[in-house]
A and B are shown apart, each in its own frame.
Chain A
Amino acid sequence: EDKVVQSPLSLVVHEGDTVTLNCSYEVTNFRSLLWYKQEKKAPTFLFMLTSSGIEKKSGRLSSILDKKELSSILNITATQTGDSAIYLCAVGSGGGADGLTFGKGTHLIIQP
């Protein structure tokens, strides 16, 4: 059974801090690892990492895939209150129709 584990489950930091969120996985036929941000509604896509693209960066957010360690990190620098959200890690395996296996999420709270 595919498994995705995120840590920590919750995190409270102050505005301006840098945070690192972790995701580890055990899946058969790894295809991709995705990060989503969820505020009060639908998850919104952040990054997708695959064997051919193990590092992604967008503004203050960046992510790295470590295929040897079967894990990924999501870094957020100079955090802002708008970064408060649940961050979901998901892994795609097998065929494209199989959907994604999600971790339980990291609930990040940024205090002013």
Chain B
Amino acid sequence: DVKVTQSSRYLVKRTGEKVFLECVQDMDHENMFWYRQDPGLGLRLIYFSYDVKMKEKGDIPEGYSVSREKKERFSLILESASTNQTSMYLCASSFSHDTGELFFGEGSRLTVL
């Protein structure tokens, strides 16, 4: 079974803190994604990566950055957390040749006070 693991299920941070969300997949997938999910807004793509050290902006990249130093690991970074970044963050991965099925992690619920 494909496993996508997000390191933290729940985090509480203060405004201005730097936040790292880690995601690891064990299926040798080329593509990895970070989404955030908010009530009434659905899932929105923040960043994605199709190869090591490659990254592309999604629909809402402002206030975020990412890092992909190894194929299996994709990190989301909030340089200076703000209250409007309180959300559920979902990591996902897929094969590059696939027609689109994403495999999701359990999610990281971030609260910024």
Q: Give chain A's interface residues, CB within 8 Å of chain B.
A: 31-32, 34, 41-45, 48, 50, 88, 90, 92, 96-105
Contact = CB atoms under 8 A, between A and B. Distances in A.
Contact of B107 (A41, A96, A97, A104): A41
Given A96-B94, A97-B30, A97-B96, A34 B101 contact: yes
A31 B42 contact: no
Interface of B: 4, 30-31, 33, 35, 40-45, 48, 50, 56, 58, 90, 92, 94-107
A96 B99 contact: yes
Main SS class of interface, A: strand
Contact of A97 (B31, B40, B103): B31
A98 B106 contact: no
Contact of A42 (B98, B100, B106): B106
Given A41-B107, A88-B42, A96 B102 contact: no
